[in-house]
A and B are shown apart, each in its own frame.
Chain A
């Protein structure tokens, strides 16, 4: 099945009902996308489909036919550095998802906007403050 993965056209064989998460990790070898809960609650598996954050554990592979999929491996952004320097990442399990969900935010986005964008992403380590700070300090 053809789709665009991190800017490259790819053709990947997998069951049409496989979870996009598993196709990315197992067929495409992109293990940056994490599985936390497997039920849509935690956001660790967030990727962008046609530019929009979605949870890849709830996306049937067939539904990305022809779409543009972007994973953490396809990101090169000052936000990543900011997560490192500001302590936005501790154990790191939530981090790829946090970054995919906050990539579109401007560093001066109001706190409510940041909180709304990350409402579907859970972190058990940082208490979120360092994550919000990482987004603010991105440059």
Chain B
């Protein structure tokens, strides 16, 4: 471990209002949920910040429940909670599918949905699901609640509209019309960071979202429109190539990612027909 913990401070609120007050009054302070991203930084010596806010006692933020026609997933719900939730399996099976492919069991037991969204890695596996489901990010600060459409949440590579006095409290997902589909392509079956990840909904107006092929998760509106208008899949593949912006990095090359992304939409189209 490369970070000494002795200079670090942990605030341990027992209620959400208390947490939000600490977030407002004790800045800079970094929220800490399952720690599966933050503690990798701690071990690596790249952890930013000195003061942390433990969210783990905020039990109400763990709930997964129906809110009218919508599904509300508390920020502290873990991948295991999501996999086991009958409500998620019924209404948002692509999220359960994504959760099953995150890390190994140990990571699924600790990593949270709010942490995945807040962390904002372009390879975050739940991000394409929320993009394709047209979810709403529910934020809270001491000043009140703010609701942001998922499509407007990220502004760039690991950047979002979330302010430093706000927490994600839930993701709200309206009813999803059509058949849901999820695929992750990595180096191996488990514990691999995505090279390309896709979530899609087959409907008269299909929705397609991809991760790891741009600075943030991407919807591909021109490809979606072409498919809705009855274009052949070859045309959709071509448009998709224009809409995504993959890069070469440690895990893969841009050319490989383009190829895989194109193959994945073809697969989506044939498997959901």
Interface residue? A46 (CB, 8 A): yes
Instruction: Tell whether A120 is near chain B: CB-to-CB under 8 Å.
Output: yes
Nearest B residue to A16, CB-CB = B10
A39-B44 contact, Cβ under 8 Å, with A53-B105, A57-B39, A119-B105: yes
Q: Which of B106-114, B165-173, B227-235 contacts A (4 or more CB under 8 A)?
A: B106-114
**Can you report 29 residue pairs joining A to B where beta carbons are below 8 Å apart?**
A15-B8, A16-B12, A16-B54, A17-B10, A18-B5, A19-B5, A39-B40, A40-B107, A41-B191, A49-B109, A53-B105, A53-B106, A54-B106, A54-B109, A54-B110, A58-B36, A59-B110, A60-B10, A60-B54, A63-B54, A63-B56, A101-B105, A116-B105, A118-B104, A119-B103, A119-B105, A119-B191, A120-B190, A120-B191
Interface pair B5/A15, CB less than 8 Å apart: yes
Return the chain B residue nearest A21 by Cβ: B1
Within 8 Å CB of A22, what residues of B?
1
Provide the main secondary structure of the chain B interface.
loop
Contact yes or no, B1 A38, CB < 8 A: yes
* Cβ < 8 Å to A, chain B residues 21-57: 32, 34-36, 39-40, 42-44, 52, 54, 56
Which residues of B lie under 8 Å from residue A16 when comparing CB positions? Answer: 10, 12, 54
Whether A62 and B35, one on each chain, are in contact in the complex, defined by CB atoms closer than 8 angstroms, is no
Known contacts A17-B10, A19-B1: does B39 contact A120 (CB below 8 Å)? no
A52-B80, A53-B109 are known contacts. Are A60 and B35 too (CB-CB below 8 A)?
A: yes
Are B5 and A40 closer than 8 Å at their CB atoms? no
**Closest CB-CB distance, B249 to chain A, in whole Å?**
18
Q: Which chain B residues border A17 with CB–CB below 8 Å?
A: 5, 8, 10, 42, 52
Q: Does A117 contact B (CB under 8 A)?
A: yes
Q: Which residues of B contact A40 (CB under 8 A)?
A: 36, 39-40, 103, 106-107
**Interface set of A (CB-CB < 8 Å, partner B):** 15-19, 22, 38-41, 43, 46, 49, 52-55, 57-60, 62-63, 101, 116-121
Give the size category of B's interface with A: 20 to 34
Q: With contacts defined as CB atoms under 8 Å apart, how many contacts are there between chain A and chain B in the complex?
A: 89
In the complex where A119-B191, A120-B191 touch, is A60 in contact with B110 (Cβ < 8 A)?
A: no
CA A119 to CA B105, docked complex, whole Å: 7
Pairwise interchain contact A101-B52, C-beta atoms closer than 8 A: no
Residues of B within 8 A of A52 (CB): 80, 109
What residues of chain B lie closer than 8 Å to A62, measured between beta carbons?
Answer: 10, 12, 54, 56
Select one of B32, B43, B190 contacting A119, CB under 8 A.
Answer: B190
Cβ of B148 < 8 Å from any Cβ of A? no
A39 to B32, CA, bound (A): 16
Contact B56 A120 (CB under 8 A): no
Cα distance A17–B44 in the bound complex, in angstroms: 15
The 4 closest A-B pairs by CB, nearest first: A120-B104, A119-B190, A58-B39, A119-B104
Query: 1/0 per position for B164-199, CB-CB distance to A under 8 A?
Result: 000000000000000000000000011100000000
| Distance in angstroms between the alpha carbons of A21 and B1 in the assembled complex | 11
What is the bound-complex CA distance between A57 and B189, given in angstroms? 23
Say how far B59's CB is from chain A's closest CB, in angstroms.
12
